[in-house]
Chains A and B, each alone.
Chain A
């Protein structure tokens, strides 16, 4: 596995953020996976010495700015998810692909739940079940990455 530099990380994060900025509307907006979070999780799990809670928080602030919502909600949700991801990062070597996907799904759902709680505190209505669709599409995207042989742990299956 090629060693990763900070440049790779920042470049991919900027690309993910640009994907987030694309003019999504209607069904696409409902399905849109959280690109920034997915790329963040990838780097958090692969290179935790370069990408940490602080990186997640900064990206969260950027997403907050772009979304125009309450300042700091995405930052808090991303930082919290980054913390959980890092806590179990070392065990990831033992997981197979499907366990890994389940782990990512849990992390994505956890981020959305944190956001939901924060928004309910701020006085939003309870959204429908479609609110959690981005997590599902996010895991699908993650599986695509797995099948394209970019391993998080760098260890090939036997």
Chain B
């Protein structure tokens, strides 16, 4: 250390603490911050506050893009518009026919459910949000949308487009919220194979725009081209939404699990608009199952 000191310039000028002292001080703070953020999740409110402060700067940064979009919208050629209009009309006709069938079937379904005494399938209202920009971190697959907690968005809501699930809201800031895409490594969705009803959990693979189905045995009944839909048992995603399609199955002899790779159905990187579904209200759980088992009953169940 003494030899190091000799290389320092003489203290003619007031320079404050040496860079090394400063580095140690700030490094200690940032390591503490990282630990607190990763393990204890205390900083969510702090971050939301700062995000609200950063919002004006973000608006400024987005202004050129927004202006460009507006002018482009304005000068879109009329022929394109009429063509698009015709296509939309056709689709509307087709869909309205299907919708009518859907209505009658829904009524029928409700009637049957009533007959069965089953819980009513919950109706989830949705909000249309627009993607503002993709996440700034190249390691994660996230997008930022323009609705936030001021508009009633909460962390945990499901996000979808017209083809299927695209992800889940993971953080709601005051004026925007962060949607983690299904291809992100940290997102898991409970799914069901549409063909045979097999339940599993799908994880984002984190790269190549793919979804993995891990922990399924080698002899599992899954074929290439199978459709994965949400199973709806988590209370977040309504059941029956398309999630992905099985693209490739690798069965290696050295692993007890099959390696199943799926491609997401939704246009994850294509659209500007997403639908944010409100959280499903969990159906009422019957009282006797919700009550914690009393010691006596547990005792009784253990010894039949």
> A: which residues have CB within 8 A of B?
14, 17-26, 29-30, 49, 52-54, 57, 60, 62, 65-73, 75-76, 79-80, 82-83, 86-87, 118-119, 122, 124-125, 127-128, 131
Contact = CB atoms under 8 A, between A and B. Distances in A.
Contact of B139 (A57, A75, A87, A127): A127
B165 to A, nearest CB: 21
A90 to B, nearest CB: 8
Contact of B178 (A26, A54, A68): A68
B22 A66 contact: no
Interface in B191-246: 206-207
Interface of B: 13, 15-16, 19-20, 22-23, 26-27, 29-34, 36-38, 43, 47, 50-51, 54, 57-58, 60-62, 64-65, 132-140, 142, 171, 178, 185, 206-207
B133 A124 contact: no
B60 A18 contact: yes
Contacts of A65: 47, 50-51, 54
Tell me the interface secondary structure of chain A in the complex.
helix
Contacts of A79: 22-23, 26-27, 30
20 contacts: A18-B61, A19-B61, A21-B61, A22-B62, A23-B65, A57-B26, A57-B29, A65-B47, A68-B135, A68-B136, A69-B139, A72-B33, A73-B30, A73-B34, A82-B23, A122-B34, A124-B140, A125-B185, A127-B138, A128-B207
Contacts of B31: 72, 76
Tell me the interface secondary structure of chain B in the complex.
helix
B30 A68 contact: no
Given A21-B54, A21-B58, A122-B34, 8 more contacts: A23-B62, A53-B26, A57-B29, A71-B33, A72-B31, A82-B23, A83-B22, A86-B19
Contacts of A125: 139, 185, 206-207
Nearest to A128: B207
A131 B138 CA distance: 8
B61 A22 contact: yes
Given A18-B57, A53-B22, A83-B22, A71 B47 contact: yes
Given A22-B61, A25-B133, A76-B31, A71 B43 contact: yes
